[in-house]
Amino acid sequence: MGKNIVVGQSGGPTAVINSSVAGVYSQAKKLGIDKVFGMVHGIEGFLEDKICDLDDYLATSTGVEMLKRTPSAFLGSCRFKMPKIEGNEEVYEKIFEVMEKHDIEYLFYCGGNDSMDTVKMLSDYAAAHGKSQRFVGVPKTIDNDLPITDHCPGYGSAAKYIATSLKEIIRDNSSFGAKKPTICIVEIMGRNAGWLTAAAALSKTVDCEGPDAIYLPERVFDMDKFVDKVKELAASKSSVVIAVSEGVKIADGRYVCEIGREVAVDAFGHKQMSGTAVKLAELIAEKTGYKTRAIEFSTLQRAATHIASLTDINEAFQVGADAVKAADEGKTAMMITLDRNGENPYQCGTSAHDIHDIANVERKVPDEWITPDGCGLTDDFERYARPLIMGELTPLYTDGLPAHLVRKES
């Protein structure tokens, strides 16, 4: 393969994004790469020549195993939007200057929609200016909304956490059997795609009835119908647990969480979501007088490595390794995709796909997987999602708590 490589992480972390870095590192070393650098805080840090030598952490098998069990983005993440190429050539030239300074020929970027756009633009700039460096995207997003790939590394572990937590909440909410119903609204991440909230359906097992209703952003949210649904449920049971996406919208296009207040936006223009469960709990309390409780999983959905899916960990490692293989074969402007090729037992391979078909495209939950009343998921969704949450990787413990690999700040 020759020359050095660099790998970076971008966007919201996942429970397994570090497994992808481990995969990149391990495969690069197998191919004889001398230096595997990590971007410190993604492409934003790379522009400032902030890198680290991964040999300092991963030269032993213990380091790699620790990294697989470490949440968040070990290298540090960012939410930096690359400017359009025209008129901003100096930004792109700076990236290539840093690559040339460290004899880096291959760049791997772990991330979601916006990160794949970065890979696309760097690839396009290289092609237009006759540069030899290669760029490959490594998929990562708990939102599971990248197109082409069957699913995204990070989703399985987040789904496992969500389904587990819903089971626990359902047991807790039903423990008192009060005459006056208790309504619990659980808010789950998902701005425009409801994959994470859909995972609440996986909590229905032989020992759990699952949530009473699930609301995804793929369907318009009707506040009046929601209140009627709660009343209907509360008429026959004392414990009602409802899963709702943070991104549900009413008919006029407003997010429920922004009704009556302003919300902040990030560097990409995305509205910062929070408060949907609180808003709906207040609505139910006002309209019905029922006891209500609002729970927001927030960061916990993407940080719970202690209950990560082994399937997810292994696939995250594999896409990292296969990104290096693809670059070694001369490929660039690609993202590694997961390709399901078997059920019973579940089997999944990988391939490299043109980044231009992926960047800035958002995949949503298929409408046919949502029940006609808009309050649940079909069996087809469960058949799709349940294999992704299977298996566990036992944490390594120190002082009674899971141990993590931590990068030293320079």
The Cα–Cα gap between 338 and 348 comes to: 6
* Residue 271 predicted with pLDDT over 80: no
Where residue 95 falls among pLDDT bands split at 50, 70, 90? very high
The answer to whether 4-153+305-360+392-402 and 155-302 have equal CATH topology is yes
**What does the domain layout of the chain look like in residue ranges?**
4-153+305-360+392-402, 155-302
Supply the pLDDT for residue 270: 60
The Cα–Cα gap between 22 and 321 comes to: 8
Quote the tokens at residue 275.
Answer: 């408060």
Question: pLDDT by residue (tens digit) across 305-349?
Answer: 999 999 999 999 999 999 999 999 999 999 999 999 999 899 999
Where residue 212 falls among pLDDT bands split at 50, 70, 90? very high
Q: 92: closest CA among 130, 40, 47?
A: 47
Mean pLDDT for the chain overall: 95
Label the pairing between strands 239-245 and 51-53: unpaired
- CATH class of the domain defined by 155-302: alpha beta
What's the one-letter identity of residue 385? A
Q: Does residue 143 have an active-site annotation?
A: yes
Quote the crossing angle between the two packed helices 155-173 and 310-328, to the nearest 10°: 170
* Residue 202 predicted with pLDDT over 70: yes
In 3-state terms the chain splits into helix, strand, coil percentages (rounded to 5) of: 40, 20, 40
pTM beyond cutoff 0.85: yes
* Residue 26 predicted with pLDDT over 90: yes
Question: pLDDT by residue (tens digit) across 54-90?
Answer: 999 999 999 999 999 999 999 999 999 999 999 999 9
Other Cβ atoms within 10 Å of 59 Cβ, number: 13
Mean pLDDT, residues 192-214 taken together: 97
What's the one-letter identity of residue 227? V
> Annotated catalytic residue: which of 49, 53, 124, 143?
143
Mean pLDDT, residues 239-260 taken together: 94
The DSSP symbol for 361 reads -
Contact present, 119 and 135 (Cβ < 8 Å)? yes
Mean pLDDT, residues 265-270 taken together: 59
b/e map 173-208, b = 16+ CB within 10 Å: bbeeeeeebbbbbbbbbbbbbbbbbbbbbbbbeeee
Query: What DSSP line would sit under 12-29, residue for residue?
Result: S--SSHHHHHHHHHHHHH
> What CATH number labels 4-153+305-360+392-402?
3.40.50.450
